Structure 1
Amino acid sequence: MHAPKFAASRSFHQELKRRTNAYFAEAGKATTGGKSLFIKALILTITFVALYVHLVFLTPPTWLAVLECLLLGGVGAAIGFNVMHDGAHGSFSKKRWVNQFAAFTLNVMGGNSFMWNMKHNLIHHMYTNIDGIDDDLDAQPWLRLSPGQPRRRLHRFQHLYFWFFYALLFIAWIFYMDYQKYFRGKIGEMPIKKMNASDQGVFWGFKALHLGLFVALPIYMVGFVSWLVGFLLFMAVAGFTLSIVFQLAHTVEHAEFPVPHATTNKLEDEWAIHQIKTTANFATDNKILSWLVGGLNFQVEHHLFPTISHVHYPAINKIIRQVCEEFGIEYNEYPKMRYAVASHVAHLRELGRR
Structure 2
Amino acid sequence: MVTPKFSSSAQSFHAELKRRINQYFEEKGKSTTGNMTLYTKAIILLVAFVFTYVHLVFFTPVTWVAILECLLLGGIVAAIGFNIMHDGAHGSFSKYKWLNQVAAFSLNVLGGSSFMWNVKHNVIHHAYTNVDGLDDDIDIQPWMRMSTTQPKYKFHKYQHIYFWFLYALLYILWIFVLDYSKYFASKIGSMPLKKMKLGDHITFWAFKVFNLFLYVGLPIYMVGFLPWLVGFLVFTMFAGLVLSIVFQLAHTVEHTAFPVPDVNTGRLEDEWAVHQLKTTANFATNNKLVCWLVGGLNFQVEHHLFPKISHVHYPEISKIIKKACAEYGIPYIEYPKTRLAIASHVSFLKQMGRS
TM-score range normalised by the length of the shorter chain? over 0.9
Q: Which residue of 2 aligns with 1:6?
A: 6
2:324 matches 1:323: yes
Q: Distance in 1 between matches of 2:202 and 2:35?
A: 31
Q: Distance in 2 between matches of 1:297 and 1:80?
A: 14
For residue 212 of structure 1, what is the amino acid of its counterpart?
F
* Misfit runs of 4+, over 6 Å: none
Q: Residue 333 of structure 1: SS of its match in structure 2? A: strand
Q: Residue 250 of structure 1: SS of its match in structure 2? A: coil
Q: Distance in 2 between matches of 1:335 and 1:20?
A: 24
For residue 135 of structure 1, what is the amino acid of its counterpart?
D
2:241 matches 1:244: no
Q: Distance in 1 between matches of 2:222 and 2:206?
A: 23
2:101 matches 1:100: yes
- Sequence identity percentage: 67
Q: Residue 16 of structure 1: SS of its match in structure 2? A: helix
2:257 matches 1:267: no
For residue 63 of structure 2, what is the amino acid of its counterpart?
T
| Structure 2 spans left out of the alignment, 5+ residues | none
Q: Residue 88 of structure 2: SS of its match in structure 1? A: helix
TM-score for the superposition, normalised by structure 2 = 0.99
Q: Distance in 2 between matches of 1:193 and 1:104?
A: 18
User: Deviations for 1:66-102, whole angstroms, at most 9, x for unmatched residues?
Assistant: 0000110001100000000000000000111101101
Map 1:77-116 → 2, pairs under 5 A:
77-116=78-117
Map 1:138-177 → 2, pairs under 5 A:
138-177=139-178
For residue 267 of structure 1, what is the amino acid of its counterpart?
L
Q: Distance in 2 between matches of 1:168 and 1:2?
A: 31
Instruction: Give the CA deviation at 1:327.
Output: 0.4
For residue 8 of structure 1, what is the amino acid of its counterpart?
S
Instruction: Give the CA deviation at 1:38.
Output: 0.6
TM-score for the superposition, normalised by structure 1 = 0.99
User: Deviations for 1:28-82, whole angstroms, at most 9, x for unmatched residues?
Assistant: 0000011111100000010011000000000110010000001100011000000
Q: Which residue of 1 aligns with 2:18?
A: 17
Q: Distance in 2 between matches of 1:11 and 1:182?
A: 38
Q: Which residue of 2 aligns with 1:292?
A: 293
Instruction: Give the CA deviation at 1:147.
Output: 1.2
Q: Which residue of 1 aligns with 2:311?
A: 310
Q: Which residue of 2 aligns with 1:121?
A: 122
Q: Distance in 2 between matches of 1:97 and 1:205?
A: 20
Q: Which residue of 1 aligns with 2:189?
A: 188
Q: Distance in 1 between matches of 2:185 and 2:153?
A: 26
For residue 8 of structure 2, what is the amino acid of its counterpart?
A
User: Deviations for 1:188-212, whole angstroms, at most 9, x for unmatched residues?
Assistant: 0100111001111110111111111
Q: Distance in 2 between matches of 1:319 and 1:198?
A: 42
For residue 182 of structure 2, what is the amino acid of its counterpart?
K
For residue 34 of structure 2, what is the amino acid of its counterpart?
G
User: Deviations for 1:160-179, whole angstroms, at most 9, x for unmatched residues?
Assistant: 11000000001001100000
Map 1:53-64 → 2, pairs under 5 A:
53-64=54-65
Q: Which residue of 1 aligns with 2:342?
A: 341
Instruction: Give the CA deviation at 1:258.
Output: 0.1
| Structure 1 spans left out of the alignment, 5+ residues | none
Instruction: Give the CA deviation at 1:146.
Output: 1.2
Q: Distance in 2 between matches of 1:155 and 1:307?
A: 37
